[in-house]
Structures are given as structure tokens and as C-alpha cells.
Amino acid sequence: MKKFWIIAFLFLLCSSFAFAFEGKMGVHCIIPKNQKVFSDRYILGWNVDVQGEVNGNLFILGGIVKVQGPVHGSVFLAGGDVDIDGPVDGDINIISLNADSQSSCRACRMLALYANQNGDSRNDLLAFAVLVDANGNVGGDALMGGGEMNFRGMCHGHFWCLAKEVSIEGTIQNDADLKADSIILDPSAKILGDLVYTSPQNFKGSKRQILGKIIHHYPPPRVVGFFHFPWLYTLLHHVLSAVWLTVVGLFGLTTWLKKPMRPILDAMLEYPWESFGTGLVICFAVPGIGILLIVSILGLPLGFILLGLFAIGVYITRLFASLYIGERLLQILEHHRPPYWQSLPIGVALFTVLTSIPFIGTIVSLITIPLAFGAKFVAGRKYYKETEASPANEKNGESDANA
């Protein structure tokens, strides 16, 4: 059921936006209030405002999008800031940074950083976002996922939710299946079916708010019996992450990272302040450029690619930071440069312990991430200067020999 929803959602969006350039184009695209459209309408523009009536499907690719008039079909939107107020007879499909739907529709599907659903959905609701606020009524099933989920409406079907934090203030007339670190049932919340939830802790609320059965599943590891130790799960997670980083790091250091790793470490050890300053600029500039590209809509794919590469780079900095800490420690103790197979495991262990401590871990991350990022560029600049200087030295040597 859930896989079918996701595949259908992506298929509809991809197939629809392929024809989005056949319609109206412009920086400002407006359909006036007294205008009626008697067919499907395709719009590409930065500022799109649909005030009139559309008797067909509506396809929009824009920056700031407002749909205030009625649409007697389905709506397919991709934009930076999307706001739908008018009634929609068909489905609403949105990919956006900020999505706000206050319209009644047949089914609502939203993929955004922030999704706000205040309208009524006669059938199902599908919402994936960092922050989801669902305040309307859902006639069918609701499937929600992301960071923080707030449900204040009424769901007549099955309710699924996978998030970090779930807060329910409305009514669920069927079963609820929740997976979250924190689950909060407001005193006004009601679940008329069963509550099946997976969480390291009990939900916050009263059992009287659930008319059906309550089934609590703990995330792994689970001890045989009725005892559960959340700290054991956290410890196991850190140990496995450290082992994984050590194994992958040693493999990378002996293969494709063998040549660039030494100059990067030298830059971290010999030019720490220059590396840290350069990395600090990069850590502010790259996400900012990525967000600007996404907001500009035209650079949307490039922005996501840039942010994805930055996220990968942040993860790889753990390897550089661990190796830096290990080499620093062993150089102080043994007064010589140790091999990778000695410094990396020690550095990974120390880095894992330091980053696991509250507040201290944040400080360590804020120092090591810019330091490792900047060291890559400092090492590259040093290498470029050396390669530029070496041909000149060779020429001078040849001229001296000829003389």
C-alpha cells in the first residue's frame, strides 16, 4: 500500500512536468479572477497567481505560486513557496520548499521542507517533510513521514507515521501505526482503533484516549523479557559506526585516498589556522549557494546536487578528523609519524567518544568539520603552486646545464 502510493506519486509528477513548457511562460504569470480556462493549463514562471477558474488540470513550475480560483481537475505544482486556497475537484500534488494547502481536494500529496495541510482531503493524504502540520480532515488513509509531525485534524482511515517526533491532537477513527523517538497524545486526541507504535519510550498521554489495543515495540536491541535499555542501543550504534568508519577508512587510505590523504593531513598539522578559516568560509558559502539555487527554481537540480555533495563531504571529514586526532596524539607520545593502521583506530575511538559527549561533541564537530574541509583546499593550493614552480626550476636547470 505505502510503496504503491510513493511510486504513483512520483510517476504522476514526472510524467506531468515533462509537458510543463507547452503552456504560458513569463516572470509574472497571472490568470485574472474574471477569466475562465476551458482546458488544461501549463504555466512556467517565477511569480504565478491563478485567480480565475480552470476547467481542467493545472500544471505549474514556478517560484512563488498562489492558486486562489477553483480548479475542476487535478493540480501538479513544483515551486519554492506554494499556496493553494481555491477548491480542487481532483488531486493536489506538490513538490516545494514551503507548501501550504487550505483547499478541499480528492487526495493530497506533498513533498516539502515545510508542509501545511489545512484543507479537507476526501480520500488519502501523503505528506513527507521536515515539519508537517496537518489540520484538515482526511477521508481515507494518512501516510506521513519526516522530522516533526503535528496532526490536529480527523483521519477516517488508517494512520501511518514515521518521524522523529509525533504529536496528535485530533481524532483517528481507525488504527494508528507510529514509529518515532517521541510520541505525544494531547488531552484532546483520540484513537478509536488500535495503537501500534515503535519507540524507545512510552507514549506521553493517557491510555483512556485509545479505545483499541496498545502494542509497544521497542527498537533494537531488545533484551529478552520485559526490560529495555535505550542507552544500550545508543552505545551499540556508536560502536558499530566507529568500526564501520575504521574499516572503510583503512580501505580508502590504502586505495583511492592513498595519495591525497598525506597532503591533506600535512595541511591540517602545519597550517591549522589557514585550513580552519578556509573551511569556515566553505561551510557557510556552499549551503548558502545551494539554497539560493533551489529557491531560484531554475537551478533546483544543481542546488540539490550541491547540497548532497556537501553532506557527503561532511561525512568524509569524520575520517580526516579521526586521522588528524590519532596522528596528533601519537606524535606527542612517540615523537614520530605513525602509520595509518595505528593512528586511524585510535583517532576514530577518541573522535567517537568526544562527539558523544553533550555540548563538547558539538564544539568538536564545529572545529573539526571546517578544519578538514579547509585542509583539502589548502593542500590543493600548495600542490598547484609546487607544480607551477617545478617546470620553471627544470627550465632554469636546463639553461644552466647548457651554459
% of residues, the chain, pLDDT over 70 = 78
pLDDT at residue 53, rounded to an integer: 92
Cis link prior to 221 (omega < 30° from 0)?
Answer: yes
**pLDDT tens digit string along 181-193?**
899 999 999 999 9
Are both 32 and 167 inside the same structural domain?
yes
Nearest to 144 by CA among 171, 112, 119: 112
Same domain, residue pair 105 and 153: yes
Q: Is residue 22 part of a domain?
A: yes
Residues 291 and 378 placed together within one structural domain of the fold: yes
Domains in the chain, number: 2
pLDDT above 70 for 296: no
* pLDDT single digits (tens) 302-318: 777 777 777 777 777 77
Q: Which of 43-52, 216-225, 263-272, 336-345 has the lowest mean pLDDT?
A: 216-225
| pTM recorded for the entire structure | 0.52
400 occurs within a structural domain: no
- Residue 339: inside a domain, yes or no? yes
Angle at alpha carbon of residue 307, lines to 238 and 352, rounded to 5°? 15
Same domain, 165 and 253: no
Residues 18 and 67 in one domain: yes
Residues 102 and 16 in one domain: yes
Query: Quick one: average pLDDT of 128-148?
Result: 89
Q: In terms of residue numbers, what domain contains 254?
A: 230-394
Which of 185, 217, 249 corresponds to the end of one domain?
Answer: 217
Query: 156 and 282: one domain?
Result: no
Q: What is the rounded end-to-end Cα distance, in angstroms, of the chain?
A: 83
Location of C-alpha cell 533546483: 300
* One-letter identity of residue 234: T
Residues 295, 188, single domain; the answer is: no
